[in-house]
Amino acid sequence: MIKTVPTTPFKDQKPGTSGLRKKVPVFQQPNYAENFIQSIFDSLEGFQGKCLVIGGDGRYYNRDVIQKAIKMAAANGFGKVMVGKGGILSTPAASHVIRKYKAFGGIVLSASHNPGGPTEDFGIKYNIGNGGPAPEKITDAIYARTTIIDHYKIADFPDVNLDRIGRDDVGGMIVSVIDPVEDYAALMEELFDFGAIRNLISLGFRLCFDAMSAVTGPYAKDILENRLGAPTGSVRNFMPLPDFGGHHPDPNLVNCHELYEEMMSDDAPDFGAASDGDGDRNLIIGKGIYVTPSDSLAILAANANLAPGYSHGIAGIARSMPTSGAADRVAEKRGIGIYETPTGWKFFGNLLDAGLATICGEESSGTGSSHVREKDGLWAVLLWLNILAVRGESVADIVGQHWAAYGRNYYSRHDYEGVDTDAANGLIASLRDKLPTLPGTKFGDLTVSAADDFSYHDPVDKSVSNNQGIRILFEGGSRVVFRLSGTGTTGATLRVYIERYEADSTRHNIETQEALADLIVAAQSVADIRGRTGRDAPTVIT
Ligand code: VG1
Ligand code: CO
């Protein structure tokens, strides 16, 4: 039986950088999740009888919303739902399942790197048939719908058993509960030389992977330990927990402090890595060396041809605007395309579909390729392992040689979290006002050469996205970028991205914050961060 339930709009359902994210109690308001899911369906056309993929990162409230989404999919006319066992599907695995089974689209339940639990964060994201996040045209339509929605449709059948793999006909729709790992692991075996990696590990190469009690645990256990032979215990915190064991599943140097300390110790393993809540981010630390995500993108792109899946070379590289220009130098040397997009994976989809880019990345620990349409944490780990296995060198050697060949882009991001929203908006607005007057202005020895608010012109569908971040470029190629986060749920987060290029290899071993010191002072001074936010220092430095 299908029920049509009257409802009234919520005013705060505008999707951010990656779907709708709110505190769990917000999602628990009657009709809140239903309104958003119905608004997704109302913004789509042609899905009658087709397949919808549903899965999430296992966080608190995941199972409840999955049951609602299944019943609403049935009521709205989908012919089939594929759902990961236990409600689990990492973001990249969901992307792969959508593509492999030619589903109409998918709903991914996750707030990614945000904490989970009864008073923490939850999220809903819609992915289209190419497996990638819905582009702005669709997220704008979904938001418009949330502001006028007056009813939703839901089927009245008992909850589906998510813990048993198999197919069932429920209310006239097929529900298929699938193994969340199998298809994804098989794809990884196609892309990478598992034999070479297994051999490296059997020769004593030591790795550790921290799944942060989030979704990558089952994937990493199966791939790294079962298939590649890493000793039991190489994968840590591998049980996905509704509150991530109280950890903050954002794999940065603050949250992964223990792993970092271990990797810097005398007895460090050869390779350390971690992923985030929904499995699309990666942190890479070699023995004695942290690899910034921007450097990692450049190094992976430069060496991808060593993995079977990329042996014919890559068509191009795409990076988000705040990501460092290290990848640009690789593209330039190889004579391949380089694309600069706004923050968020949804902007890479068109470039990947059109075959313009093969490898994409963001400074926020996201790297991925055309194998799916999301960033992919374990993919990056496996590509690194494949490269290490083929080159037979350490992470530190590979990074050092890369800098020597291409120069080093010193890079850091300073986050000011939980800032007053009006103060943060005021800071950006005032920078925007100042833009025309900045060129020629001096900050110590630095002179501004150009300043703008980044606009993206999509070369494929010709859409334009404005106001994507304030860029201040200095003579000599250094820059600072300011933008506000679109994934937070409390107050505002100001992100300040700082970059300096250094060609001289005798100057490649300076401590990062020291190498960027004058730019950090300039950023403070041009934006008056202290005066406007009341903060003396960032909350997180990555
Ligand atoms: C952040 C990152 C961005 C990333 C996004 C989603 O967005 O900066 O690069 O794509 O999170 O990642 P923002 O708007 O807060 O800066 V995830 O792993 O949270 O889906
Ligand atoms: Co994520």
**Among candidate residues 376, 183, 175, the one with its CA nearest the CA of residue 281:** 376
The answer to whether residues 149 and 265 belong to one domain is no
What is the pLDDT at residue 54?
98
356 alpha carbon to ligand 1 midpoint, in Å?
Answer: 23
pLDDT digits (tens, 9 = 90+) for 365-393: 999 999 999 999 999 999 999 999 999 99
What band does 491 get if pLDDT is binned at 50, 70 and 90?
Answer: confident
> Of 179, 211, 228, which residue sits at a domain end?
179
Confidence of residue 466 (pLDDT cuts 50, 70, 90): very high
User: Do 415 and 484 fall into the same domain?
Assistant: yes
pLDDT tens by residue, 222-239: 999 999 999 999 999 999
The predicted pLDDT at position 489 comes to 80
Tell how far the Cα of 272 is from the centroid of ligand 2, in angstroms.
19
CA 153 to chain centre: 32
Ligand nearest to the CA of 360: 1
Please answer whether residues 477 and 503 qualify as being in contact, where contact means their C-beta atoms are separated by less than 8 angstroms.
no
Q: What is the model's pLDDT at position 499?
A: 97
Stretch 118-139: mean pLDDT, rounded?
95
pLDDT confidence bin for 490, thresholds 50/70/90:
confident
To test the ligand 1 pocket, which listed residue (372, 487, 493) has its Cβ within 8 A of the most ligand atoms?
A: 487
Mutate which of 252, 343, 482 to test ligand 1's pocket (most atoms within 8 Å of Cβ)? 343
- Stated as kind and residue range, the H or E segment containing 491 is none
pLDDT of residue 427: 96
What percent of the chain stands above pLDDT 70? 100
Residues 272 and 204 in one domain: yes
* Alpha-carbon separation of residue 234 from 184, 209, 240, 383 (angstroms): 20, 6, 16, 18
**What average pLDDT does the chain have?**
96
Q: Are residues 301 and 445 in the same domain?
A: no
Together in a domain, 64 and 194 = no
**Into how many domains does the chain fold?**
3
Task: Please count the other Cβ atoms lying within 10 Å of the Cβ belonging to residue 494.
Answer: 25
Give the residue, by CA position, lying nearest to ligand 1 atom 1: 487
CB 41 within 8 A of CB 76: yes
Q: Point out the domain boundary residue: 355, 377, 406.
A: 406
Gap from CA of 197 to ligand 1 centroid (Å): 30
Which-ligand-closest: CA of 123? 1
- Kindly state whether residues 173 and 218 are assigned to the same domain: no
Ligand 1: centre distance to CA 154 (Å): 32
Q: What CATH number is attached to the domain comprising 471?
A: 3.30.310.50
* Residue 18 pLDDT exceeds 90: no
Query: What CA–CA distance (Å, rounded) separates 326 from 409?
Result: 6
Residue 246, helix vs strand vs coil: helix
| 217 lies in the same domain as 81 | no
- For ligand 1, atom 2: residue with the closest CA: 364
CATH number where 348 lies: 3.40.120.10
Residue 154 has pLDDT above 90, yes or no: yes
Q: Which domain holds residue 66?
A: 2-179
Is there a single domain that holds both residue 255 and residue 353? Answer: yes
Of the listed 43, 95, 112, 320, which one is catalytic? 112
Q: How far is the CA of 77 from the centre of ligand 1 (A)?
A: 32
The pLDDT score that the predictor gives to residue 417 is: 94
Q: What is the mean pLDDT of residues 501-528?
A: 94
Q: Is the pLDDT of residue 488 over 90?
A: no
Ligand 2 center to residue 379 CA distance, Å? 13
Of ligand 1's atoms, which has the minimum distance to the CA of residue 493? 15
Q: Do 231 and 328 lie in a common domain?
A: yes
**CA-closest residue to ligand 1 atom 13:** 485
Q: Counting atoms of ligand 1 from 1, which one is nearest the CA of 276?
A: 18
Mean pLDDT along residues 161-166: 97
ipTM, interface predicted TM-score of the complex: 0.98
pLDDT band at 327 (very low <50, low <70, confident <90, very high): very high
- Active site includes 112? yes
Average pLDDT over residues 318-340: 97
Distance CA 271, CA 258 (A): 14
Looking at the fold, whether 244 and 377 belong to one and the same domain comes out as: yes
Q: What is the best residue among 89, 121, 364 to mutate for testing ligand 1's pocket, by most ligand atoms within 8 Å of CB?
A: 364
DSSP symbol at 383? H
Q: Which atom of ligand 1 is nearest to the CA of 91?
A: 20
Give the pLDDT of residue 17: 84
**Closest C-alpha to 497, from 459, 454, 533, 456:** 454
Judgement on whether residues 77 and 135 belong to the same structural domain of the protein: yes
Around ion ligand 2, residues with a beta carbon closer than 5 Å are: 112, 276, 278, 280
28 and 108, same domain (yes or no): yes
Predicted confidence (pLDDT) per residue in 399-424, tens digit: 999 999 999 999 999 999 999 999 99
| pLDDT at residue 90, rounded to an integer | 97
Q: Distance between CA atoms of 146 and 69, rounded to whole angstroms?
A: 16
pLDDT in tens, 182-212: 999 999 999 999 999 999 999 999 999 999 9
146's tokens: 């949330």
Nearest ligand by distance to the CA of 297? 1
Atom number of ligand 1 nearest to Cα 320 = 9
Domain end among 148, 179, 210: 179
DSSP letter (8 states) at residue 231:
P
For the chain, report the end-to-end CA distance as a whole number of angstroms.
Answer: 52
